[in-house]
Structure 1
Amino acid sequence: MTKTRYDTPGFLPATWLVAEREVRMRLRSKVFLFSSGILLLLVLAGVILPPLLGGNTSAPKVAAVGSAVAIAEQTGALDVTEVASVAEAEKLVRSEKVEAALVPSTGDSPLEVSVIALDETPSSIVGLFSVAPSVDLLDPSGQNPGLVYLVAIAFGLIFFVSALTFGSIIAQSVVEEKQTRIVEILMATVPVRVLLAGKIIGNSLLAFGQIVLVSAVTAVGMLATGQDLLLADIGPSIIWFVVFFLFGFVLLAALFAATGAMVSRQEDISSTTTPVTMLVMIPYFLIIFFYDNPVVLTIMSYVPFSAPVGMPMRVFLGDAMWWEPVLALLVLVLSTLAVIALGARIYSNSLLRTGARVSLKEALRG
């Protein structure tokens, strides 16, 4: 009788098989699909509802000078206050009694009027004209504090929720495989490093896909509600957030897998994963309390665990030089490779050990 010989798959095919298994398991989970849908709906509501609710308020208040008065009144959508001089109009803008001032154009404006605003382009006013007028900012160095805070909360919260959710899934999956001894069957077929790589890649693809969907929903919602100028302002920081999140999550995923392998019961997971959970929570609280502190944000930009939040925030504020995101990303990539090597050692030395929790010293020594 001839015996059939099955060849062991190579590293890349085997890793992809494990990654596919992780993806299929998550996509079959109704809880995962439901929570992801709720997250997308919340993001969409947060983007669409404010402009819609704001549309029920009174017309934007503007000050107008000379010939700009008639042009402002022709729009039919502005509460116009006529003033005698540009200086008086600027005074009203600085005191925030009006959102902007319309004055006769003296430069190369495509219209006969120019807009004067305090610290940001008033999109609700500029959008009323078929051709955008020139805009002069009295305090161009500033950003709308409310908008800055909302962007900080968005970056911090999305990173916190996604990293913690998928990180916990990885740790629980590792412990479940140890508890049911499935890992012994898997290790008889593929090496330990393949199991770790597949688990990280599979869950990273899911987390990255969720972040891309959130970003796409945000962009579509802003375009649908006429927030084109705001999208153009925040768009580059969203792109950097997606890129930094990918590598930042891989780093955290390696740590969650390694610390999950150090225990054999679901009840003991928190005893080893708490330090990693803190690494996820710290950037969230830092960005909430220090969202406008340039020193703290600069430090966060180059610390691997907080760079996915800190650097995109600096890009949005315009505080980062063109080369800084590239340098911070390089630091994050190198740190991720080092953490993967460390996590792989802990994972391989702990995976087959059952019973009492494996100490970090034992996991590193093997």
Structure 2
Amino acid sequence: MTVDARHDAERTVPTFPATVGLVAGREIMSRLRSKAFVISTAILMLAVLASVILPSVLGGGDEDARVAVVGSAAAATDGVDGLESVPVADRAEGEALLRDGEVEAVVVPATSEGVGVTVIGMDEAPGPVVSALSIAPSVELLEPALVDTGLAYLVAFGFGIVFFMSAITFGSTIASSVVEEKQTRVVELLLSTVSARALLTGKVVGNSVMAFGQIVAIAGLALIGLAATGQRVLLGGVGPSVAWFAVFFAVGFVMLAALFAGTASMVSRVEDVGSVTTPVTMLIMLPYFLVVFFFDDPVVMAIMSYVPFSAPIGMPVRIFLGDAAWWEPLLSLLILAATTVAAVLIGERIYHNSLLRMGARVKLGEALAK
């Protein structure tokens, strides 16, 4: 072979990054061309947007109750939340407005020696007006919660379901792709031109990019919905935790993707994928159920925030609740990153040792052997 011919051959051999980019690009385009993926993503994003907007729309429909006030009764209604005062000359004018449906009640000074006001309704007691004018006792809490319990549950559930759906969807996609290539013998052709490490890396990178893109799109849509509906208080509280959730998910999914690909390579039929990927699936399901049932247990949430497989849910929830010190997310992320590196190395070894072994399921010990 001449020198020029040897140089031409060397130039035709793609580098490792180029190969990874080709495989990742193929994975991304395959997902984007899948109608099932596009439809499921659209449904998930619409569900998230609806969960953000609908409570505000339905709750925002409660307008201030218009009440006709007579004379000194205005002092009792002025500045009261939920009431809009309409001054009238006398009781008769107020009753006329009430009969015409222009006000919900008439508030007049108490008769005789009574103190306070009298509320006049049409055919039943105007509950909202009475409640607004009622004097509530002052309340003191020994250990006031920083966040409303109901809101904390919704945020925890939101993080849990988004992590669960995205990780399961893209993890299963990687597993199915690996087994399909193995079952159809396509992998033998691929390995004749690219290394197993490049093939695995491309699959992990491509699906991780898609999963992270989906998470960012969902997070952005939720934040836009909060801003558009005027829920700026909630936006300010949930914004930092959403940002941390995206970061934790990006690192954590790489760990899960490598494990999904590695375990799936141990079988040669699509029908057998579930049997080998069940342990990884359980690592995704367990944090979801824990955060749903123990979101208000500080001990459980603290443990979850440091366990690598549950940290993408546990730590953002603690950040939202204000229970995490500034250094805790950084330490948790460091532990997650170290675990991810170990998981990638283990997944790569299983993948490399199992990919060309057809027929019976490869035993884990054999897959991990050097």
The interval holding the TM-score normalised by the smaller chain is: 0.7 to 0.9
- SS of the residue aligned with 1:352? coil
Counterpart residue identity of residue 343, structure 1: G
- Secondary structure of the residue aligned to 1:237 is helix
Structure 2: 5+ residue stretches without partners: 66-73, 86-127
Match of 2:320 among 316, 323, 342: 316
Q: Quick one: which of 236, 245, 269 aligns to 2:273?
A: 269
What's 1:11 paired with? 16
Deviation per CA, 1:20-71, whole angstroms, max 9, x where unpaired? 01001110111111111111111111111111111234649xxxxx989533
CA distance in 1, matches of 2:209, 2:32: 12
Who is 1:204 aligned against?
Answer: 208
Aligned mates of 1:149, 1:217 — CA distance in 2: 20
Alignment match, 1:45 = 50
Q: What is the one-letter code of the residue matched to 2:46?
A: L
* RMSD (CA atoms): 2.4
- Measure how far apart 1:142 and its partner are: 3.9
* Bigger mean CA offset, 221-230 vs 3-12: 3-12
Q: Which whole-Å deviations, capped at 9, do the CAs of 1:276-320 have from their partners, x for residues lacking one?
A: 000000000000110011111111011110000000000001000
Deviation of 1:148 (Å): 0.7
- Is this contact kept in 2: 1:8–1:190, CA < 8 A? no
- Deviating runs (4+, > 6 A) in structure 1? 1-4
Deviation at 1:82, TM superposition (A): 5.0
Distance 1:90 1:23, change over 3 A: same
- 8 Å CA contact retained: 1:48, 1:222: yes
1:242-275, Cα deviation, whole Å (9 max, x unpaired) = 0000011100000000011000000110110000
Q: Is the 8 A contact 1:172 1:269 kept in 2?
A: yes
CA contact (8 A) 2:27 2:207 kept: yes
Q: Distance in 2 between matches of 1:141 and 1:286?
A: 21
**Aligned ranges for residues 203-242 of structure 1 at < 5 Å?**
203-242=207-246
Letter in 1 for 2:160: G
The 5-angstrom pairing of residues 49-68 of structure 1 reads 49-57=54-62, 59=64
What's the CA shift for 1:152? 1.0
Amino acid at match of 2:213: G
Query: What is the TM-score when the length of structure 2 is the normalising length?
Result: 0.80
Residue 111 of structure 2 is matched in structure 1 by none
Change (3 A) 1:353 1:147: same
- CA displacement 1:135-185 (0-9 Å, x = unmatched): xxx964342111111111101100000000100000000000001111111
| 1:7 Cα deviation after fit | 2.4
Partner of 1:166: 170
Distance 2:82 2:34 in 1: 56
Distance 1:17 1:73, change over 3 A: closer
Q: Secondary structure at the match of 2:226?
A: helix
Choose the corresponding residue for 2:358, options 338, 354, 362: 354
Report the TM-score, using the length of structure 1 for normalisation.
0.80
- Aligned pairs (5 A) from 1:279-290: 279-290=283-294
The CA distance in 2 between the partners of 1:186 and 1:219, in whole Å, is 42
| Matched letter for residue 242 of structure 2 | I
SS of residue matched to 1:302: coil
Segments of structure 1 that go 5 or more residues without pairing to the other structure are 61-65, 95-117, 120-137
1:184-223 Cα deviation digits (max 9, x unpaired) = 1111111110001000000000000000000011011111
Tell me the amino acid that sits aligned with residue 23 of structure 2.
Answer: V
2:42 is aligned with 1:34: no
Larger Rg: 2
